[in-house]
A and B are shown apart, each in its own frame.
Chain A
Amino acid sequence: MAHDSLYAAPPTAEAEPGAGRLASLRGLLGSWDVAVVAALVVAVLVASLTVENFATGRNAQFLLLDLVPLALIALPMTLIVITGEIDLSVASMVGLCSTLMGQLWLSSGLSLELICVLVVLLGAVLGAVNGLFVTGFGLPSLAVTIGTLALYRGLSFVVLGDQAVADFPADWTAAVVRTIPGTSIPVVVVPLLVLAVIFGVVLHATAAGRALYAIGNNDQAATFTGVSVARTKFWLFVVSGAVCGLVGILWTLRYASARGDNATGLELTVVTAVLLGGVSIFGGRGALLGVLAGVLLLGVLRNALQLADVDANALTIVTGTLLIASVVLPNAVADVRARLHRRRQRHPAAS
């Protein structure tokens, strides 16, 4: 809704005389993206000053390692939500790709390089199934991907049962958690940044990207302007699946374990991050920068609170509250502003 009209200043009664100050704040915090980035900066600063061990290289390394899968999946998810669809099967695709990687490594005798390529391709196929149901049969993506969420997770248990494959070569598993020499930044951040730049350029600087917003705002109008709505959505689901294949590989190597329940429940965290990042669930609105800031904000808050000895499970309160706040606040603020505006219009007329 009114995502890009959130201002940090609470418009209380005293805000009326200080309208000029409000306007300058408006310039500074012009959009939801900037608000999320600002919240992120504040969170990092406060956490560094108050939470012991937060501002250490080791913590930064683990924080980033934990966030890479989330951020990677959030990239295609952002594009999908902008077109007004949703993909809830992402975590199950990660799980299925992970178990298939384990099963292939266990029994096929193929080289790990080839297996990785196959797994990404498999992810793309899984995504294509989603895309086919949504665009080919015209079914709502919410229902389709709830179905494939169960289907793919079920299949990933079928592949490996309740067993785990853990004997991956040590140099591969070590490579995933390695940091860039001289820093505490994990090397897996590099492919994430490369993909983020590619997705960002496509979304914000190409005709294809504009088409996504057009589809999300009104897909009939988009059709009339020559956008192939079905084909675009289909390929978005394919890309989402391929990225999940990649995440499946990273997840398996990071934890040196291919299991059927890998990444269970991740889909809801990804959707939370995307919405927190300012993407409208109605489609047609949002930016990639905000989403990445949303992912980081989510991760930093959880990490800092965990270091401060808050029970990890109780932290879901933070996730939930952030998500609700990110959709309630913009509307509440817009309401208050509209009321102030009306009152201001009435006042000159009265005097």
Chain B
Amino acid sequence: MSLTDAGAPERAAGNAPSDPGRQRRGLTERLLAVRELSLLIALGLLVLVTTVRNDRFLSGQSVKDLLLGCAILVILAVGQTLVIITRNVDLSVGSILGLVAFATGSLFLSAPGTPWPVALVVGVALGALCGAVNGGLIAVARVPALVITLGTLYAFRGIDYYWASGSQINAADMPPSFLRLGNQTVLGVPVLFLVALVVVAVVGFYLRSYRSGRELYAIGSEPAAARLSGIPVGRRVFAVFVASGAFAGLAGVLYAARFGTLDAAAGTGLELQVVAAAVVGGVAIFGGSGSAYGAALGAVLLTTIGSSLAVLRIDPFWQQAVVGALILAAIGLDRVLALRVAARLRGRSAHGA
């Protein structure tokens, strides 16, 4: 599966400046481009078809709504990408988002004069703390992250409910400067989306160009081999969960800014949408492959499908079914691609020898 992406094999091949190495690098890069390209094409087609049916789909307000709608999912999907690349999964992101969103509201409620950057830092720190709980438990229990984060999905959500105990925080309780953050635009682009873009760029660059970023792919491709080659697997996995928690915290603060009205149910069920976005974006569920850009495109695609269906006057109840079908198509496509690449590489090495 790792062959469908510029993962560790490509890196290894890139070190040897021989001809076959360069060829293989070209191949994997082409395939990487194919995945993000195919997502862009799908997105373009979707927008085209929708606009042909209703030209207001590309009007300023509609595009703004679309970008606003996908920003939070993009941030979560990028955080999830870091985790899934290491062959783990973080199911607790929806609950962390809910907890942080409520905490942000409570902070403004108890200390009305708090400047919003402080709230942002507090929210991200709380998210990182939740992530550290996940990472620490995984290190202690030595069981798949699926189990631990399923547990903390419940636990964080329960804490949220216990804390809120039925109460609700309204937009009137929050400072206008904070709420403006959720709706303001710069040159027509919502601030929320700009934040998401920065997150995508930073994580995308980190995964591609930093040593520890490359090590995440190695861990996901084969944890045992990664350990043997001296990568501090435990520390990296812990850090990845802290990062995922921090991004969920960031998303929680932005959620509070955007919606204003908060109860303990914020973000319920979001985790599966996040995993879906990453998987549709070409992040292999068993690790070692994928990019932040792909996951972000996956999140944008899923959000756009939602709004397109409404514009196309297709029963909005179809949306979830389409998302499900898309996930199945995406993992099926990955499988076919992986098999083909494997076959081609086998053929080439047979010729080369």
Contact surface of A with B, Cβ cutoff 8 Å:
1, 133, 137-140, 142-144, 146-155, 157-158, 161-162, 260, 264-265, 268, 271-272, 275, 281-282, 311, 313-321, 323-324, 327-328, 331-332
Q: How many A-B residue pairs have CB under 8 A?
A: 154
Closest residue of A by beta carbon distance from B144: A281
Q: A137-B335, A149-B272 are in contact. List 10 more A-B contacts (CB 8 A).
A: A138-B335, A142-B89, A144-B328, A150-B324, A153-B324, A275-B147, A316-B154, A317-B158, A319-B158, A332-B141
By the criterion CB–CB under 8 Å, are A161 and B317 in contact? Answer: yes
The one of A142, A154, A271, A332 in contact with B317, judged by C-beta atoms closer than 8 angstroms, is: A154
Who on chain B is nearest to A89 by CB?
Answer: B324
Q: Indicate if B125 sits at the interface (CB-CB under 8 A).
A: no
Cβ–Cβ contact A328 & B322, under 8 A? no
Query: Is A151 a contact partner of B324 (Cβ separation < 8 A)?
Result: yes
A148 to B332, CA, bound (A): 13
B351 within 8 A of A: no
Q: 4 tightest CB-CB pairs across the interface, nearest first?
A: A151-B324, A154-B321, A320-B154, A317-B158
Q: Are A154 and B140 in contact (CB under 8 A)?
A: no
Asked if residues B317 and A146 are in contact (CB atoms below 8 Å), the reply is no
Contact A143:B327 (CB < 8 A) given known A268-B154, A316-B157, A321-B151 = yes
- From A140, A268, A311, A313, contact of B153 by CB (8 A): A268
Contact of A1 among B143, B158, B276 (CB under 8 A): B143
Quick one: CB contact mask for B171-195 with A, threshold 8 Å, 1 for yes?
0000000000000000000000000
Interface size on B, residues (CB 8 A): 47
Q: Closest chain B residue to A271 by CB distance? A: B150
Query: Contacts A146-B327, A158-B315, A324-B151 hold; do A151 and B321 have CB atoms under 8 A apart?
Result: yes
The contact string, 1 if C-beta is below 8 Å from chain A, for chain B 122-158, is 0000000000000001001111101110111111111
Q: With A271-B150, A319-B154 known to touch, is A328 a contact of B317 (CB < 8 Å)? A: no
Q: Are A146 and B151 in contact (CB under 8 A)?
A: no
Residues of A contacting B153 in the complex (Cβ-Cβ under 8 angstroms): 268, 320
Is the C-beta of B107 less than 8 angstroms from some C-beta in chain A? no
Q: Residue on A with the closest CB to B156?
A: A320
Please give me the residue from chain B that is nearest to A272 by CB atom: B150
Question: Is the beta-carbon distance between A317 and B155 smaller than 8 angstroms?
Answer: yes
Contact assessment for A320 and B155 in the assembled complex, using a CB-CB cutoff below 8 Å:
yes
Closest CB-CB distance, B255 to chain A, in whole Å? 19
B285 on interface, CB distance cutoff 8 Å? yes
* B158 A316 Cβ-Cβ under 8 A: yes
Whether A137 touches B147, Cβ cut-off 8 Å, given contacts A268-B154, A313-B158, A320-B155, is no
A151/B335 contact (C-beta < 8 A), A140-B285, A158-B318, A275-B147 known: no
A147 to B278, CA, bound (A): 12
B286 within 8 A of A: yes
| Min CB–CB distance A264 → chain B (angstroms) | 8
- In contact, A139 and B335 (Cβ under 8 angstroms): yes
| Chain B residue nearest to A153 in the complex (CB) | B320
Q: Known contacts A272-B154, A311-B165, A317-B159; is A150 also within 8 Å of B321 by CB?
A: yes
| Choice from A147, A318, A327 contacting B147 with Cβ under 8 Å | A327
Whether the pair B324, A328 counts as a contact (CB closer than 8 A) is: no
What are 29 A-B pairs with beta-carbon distances under 8 A? Answer: A139-B331, A139-B332, A143-B327, A146-B272, A147-B327, A148-B328, A151-B324, A154-B317, A154-B318, A154-B320, A154-B322, A155-B321, A161-B315, A272-B150, A272-B151, A282-B144, A311-B165, A311-B166, A313-B264, A314-B159, A314-B165, A316-B154, A316-B158, A317-B158, A320-B158, A324-B148, A324-B151, A327-B147, A331-B140
Interface residues of B in 78-124 (CB under 8 A from A): 89
| B142 partner residues in chain A, CB cutoff 8 A | 1, 331
Nearest chain B residue, comparing its CB with the CB of A260: B317
Whether A154 and B155, one on each chain, are in contact in the complex, defined by CB atoms closer than 8 angstroms, is: no
Kindly name the residue among B143, B269, B272 whose own CB sees the greatest number of chain A CB atoms within 10 A: B143
Known A317-B155, A320-B155: A328·B275 in contact at CB below 8 Å: no
B147 & A281 in contact (Cβ 8 Å cutoff): yes
Q: Are A324 and B335 in contact (CB under 8 A)?
A: no
Contact, CB under 8 Å: A315 / B158: yes
Residues of B within 8 A of A139 (CB): 331-332, 335
Q: What's the Cα separation between A153 and B279 when bound, in Å?
A: 18
Q: Are A148 and B324 in contact (CB under 8 A)?
A: yes
Q: Please tell me which one of the listed residues B89, B146, B166, B320 contacts residue A150 in the complex, with CB atoms under 8 A apart.
A: B320
Q: Which residues of A contact B143 (CB under 8 A)?
A: 1, 281, 327, 331
Contact B161 A147 (CB under 8 A): no
A30 to chain B, nearest CB (A): 22
Residue interface mask B316-353, A partner, CB < 8 A = 1? 01111111110110011001000000000000000000
Q: Is the CB of A320 within 8 A of B151?
A: yes
> Are A144 and B331 in contact, CB atoms less than 8 angstroms apart?
yes
